[in-house]
């Protein structure tokens, strides 16, 4: 009987077509809207209904004192005319410059520090390099001496360049080590290894620091990298600006178990200036987070849990770490102010 009714409805009434079309529309709409377990497209959701996303984990840091800092000097650098370096140390130290150091020899020496005797003195480093360099020059750096040191490869060696690319030798490797045995027992960081490019006849690229590494008394090795800030916050913050290395030491932490340099009284004003910059998201709270792997220091603690992408370069945020720890009460107060502002909007 039902079949006969459907046949008659199909033959004599347009209601059948209307019913079929309506049913197909309802099923399609239900699938789109997720009534049968399908996700609702993000464009159809309100901000309150958006699915929560996982917050990037926070990398835990350990504060240690970095007694070394090394930068390029102000004069023009050339292989034939030499280069100036500006070291700063918290203790008396030794600056050793290796001209034409073999790349493979340096890599093997760094590995030997991790698995063999610690490279705490220039003599140990020379032995680890197996003397695979053209010239070695050393300077005694007093902790109160901030003068630039001039180093040059002797002209009688007749070296004007280090060959075409790719090269087998670094133009200059500068190493800072502590001079006194007592100081080596005090500091966890025992050496600073800086690889410097110096222009010559075959490579006119301007002088610059290629790599910097910190060697610890436990045999660990950390690569130092700069932290970047927004242009409104005076460009990038380079961690090699000071011996205690608030920024560069922080990035050393990001490379492994991590280490961040302790604040030094001489750097208090500069460090407070960095902390006083505003978050680029809310423009209210001071920035206190560094995003990884892009290393942009641009957001505050309150905005960090709401970010999946860096607001500066749009890179995915995999991890983050804090520049300075603050009392819990202050963090809660800042979070409440942020929530009130979001509510008003």
> Quick check: is 251 in a domain?
no
Q: Are residues 76 and 204 in the same domain?
A: yes
Task: Give the total number of structural domains in the chain.
Answer: 3
Instruction: Please indicate, yes or no, whether residues 176 and 67 belong to a single structural domain of this protein.
Output: yes
Alpha-helical regions (H) of the chain = 2-12, 15-33, 103-115, 122-128, 181-186, 248-254, 268-275, 328-344
- Please tell me whether residues 6 and 155 are part of one structural domain: no
CATH number for the domain spanning 138: value is 2.60.40
Structural domain including 154 reads 63-223
Higher-confidence position of 258 and 296: 296
Q: What is the pLDDT of residues 22-61, one digit of tens each?
A: 777 787 777 766 654 555 444 444 444 445 567 788 888 7
User: What's 307's domain CATH number?
Assistant: 3.30.40.10
Does residue 24 share a domain with residue 90?
no
d(CA 274, CA 237): 8
Q: What average pLDDT does this structure show over 207-212? A: 92
Q: Is the same domain home to 113 and 167? A: yes
Rounded to 10°, the helix 2-12/15-33 angle is: 100
- Condensed to tens digits (0 to 9), the pLDDT of residues 89-127 reads 999 999 999 999 999 999 999 999 988 888 999 999 999
DSSP result, 300-335: -TTTGGG-SB-TTT--B--EEEESS---HHHHHHHH
Same domain, 99 and 173: yes
Partners of 216 in the beta sheet?
189
Q: Which of 179, 181, 182, 211 is nearest to 70 (CA)?
A: 211
| pLDDT > 70 fraction of the chain, expressed in percent and rounded | 69
Give the pLDDT score at 98.
95
Assign 127 to helix, strand or coil: helix
Query: Residues 263, 269, 272, CA angle at the centre, nearest 5°?
Result: 75
**C-alpha dihedral over 133, 138, 141, 146, to 10 degrees?**
-70
| H runs (alpha helix) in 174-231 | 181-186
Within this chain, do residues 198 and 280 fall inside the same structural domain, yes or no? no
Give the residue from 201, 223, 245 where a domain finishes. Answer: 223
For position 58, what pLDDT does the model report?
83
- Non-local (6+) Cβ contacts of 208 within 8 A are 72, 196, 197
At a CB cut-off of 8 Å and minimum separation 6, what does 306 contact?
Answer: none
Q: Does some domain include residue 179? A: yes
Whole-model pTM: value is 0.67
Q: Look at residue 156 and tell me whether its pLDDT is greater than 50.
A: yes
257 located within any domain: no
Asked if the structure places residue 178 within a domain, the reply is yes
The answer to whether residue 235 scores a pLDDT higher than 90 is no
The strand pairing partners of 141, in sequence order, are 93
- DSSP labels for 241-301? GSSS-TTHHHHHHHTSS--EEPP-GGGHHHHHHHHTSBPTTTSSSBP-EEEETTTEEEE-T
Q: Which of 196, 209, 192, 251 is nearest to 66 (CA)?
A: 192
Provide the 10 A C-beta neighbour count for residue 168.
12
287 vs 170, which has greater pLDDT?
170
Q: Strand 135-141 vs strand 189-197: parallel, antiparallel, or unpaired?
A: unpaired
Indicate whether 342 belongs to any domain: no
Instruction: Tell me, yes or no, whether 93 lies in a domain.
Output: yes
Handedness of CA 27, 33, 38, 42 (dihedral sign): positive
pLDDT digits 0-9 by tens, 294-335 = 999 989 888 888 888 999 999 999 999 888 766 555 555 655
Of 254, 175, 248, residue with least CA distance to 215: 175
Q: Using CA atoms, how far apart are residues 180 and 117, in angstroms rounded to an integer?
A: 18
Whether residue 54 is contained in a domain is answered as no
Tokens 């034939």 locate to 80
Q: Are residues 86 and 218 in the same domain?
A: yes
Q: What is the pLDDT of residue 100?
A: 93
Q: Which residues 6+ apart lie within 8 Å of 93 measured at CB?
A: 67, 68, 87, 141, 143, 176, 177, 178, 179
- Based on the fold, state whether residues 201 and 280 are members of the same structural domain: no
| Tokens of residue 130, six digits | 């197996």
């Amino acid at each position: 009987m039902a079949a006969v009714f459907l046949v008659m409805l199909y033959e004599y009434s347009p209601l059948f077509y209307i019913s079929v079309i309506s049913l197909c529309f309802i099923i399609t709409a239900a699938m789109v809207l997720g009534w049968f377990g399908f996700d609702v497209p993000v464009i159809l959701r309100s901000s309150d209904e958006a699915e929560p996303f996982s917050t990037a984990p926070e990398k835990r840091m350990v504060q240690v004192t970095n007694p070394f800092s090394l930068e390029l000097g102000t004069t023009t650098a050339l292989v034939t005319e030499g280069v100036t370096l500006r070291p700063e140390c918290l203790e008396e130290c030794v600056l050793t410059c290796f001209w034409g150091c073999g790349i493979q020899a340096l890599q093997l020496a760094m590995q030997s520090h991790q698995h063999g005797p610690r490279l705490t003195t220039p003599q140990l480093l020379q032995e680890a390099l197996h003397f695979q360099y053209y010239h070695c020059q050393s300077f005694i750096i007093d902790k109160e001496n901030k003068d630039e040191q001039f180093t040059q490869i002797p002209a009688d060696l007749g070296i004007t360049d280090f060959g075409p690319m790719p090269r087998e030798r670094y133009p200059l490797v500068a190493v800072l080590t502590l001079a006194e045995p007592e100081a080596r027992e005090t500091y966890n960081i025992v050496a600073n290894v800086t690889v410097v490019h110096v222009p010559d006849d075959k490579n006119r690229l301007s002088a610059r620091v290629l790599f910097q590494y910190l060697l610890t008394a436990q045999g660990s090795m950390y690569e130092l990298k700069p932290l970047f800030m927004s242009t409104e916050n005076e460009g990038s913050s380079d961690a090699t600006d000071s011996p205690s290395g608030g920024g560069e030491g922080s990035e050393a932490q990001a490379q492994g178990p991590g280490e961040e340099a302790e604040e030094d009284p001489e750097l208090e004003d500069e460090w407070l200036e960095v902390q006083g910059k505003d978050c680029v998201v809310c423009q209210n709270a001071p920035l206190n987070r560094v995003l990884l792997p892009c290393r942009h220091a641009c957001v505050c603690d309150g905005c960090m849990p709401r970010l999946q992408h860096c607001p500066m370069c749009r890179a995915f945020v995999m991890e983050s770490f804090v520049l300075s720890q603050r009392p819990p009460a202050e963090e809660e107060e800042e979070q409440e102010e942020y929530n009130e502002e979001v509510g008003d909007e």
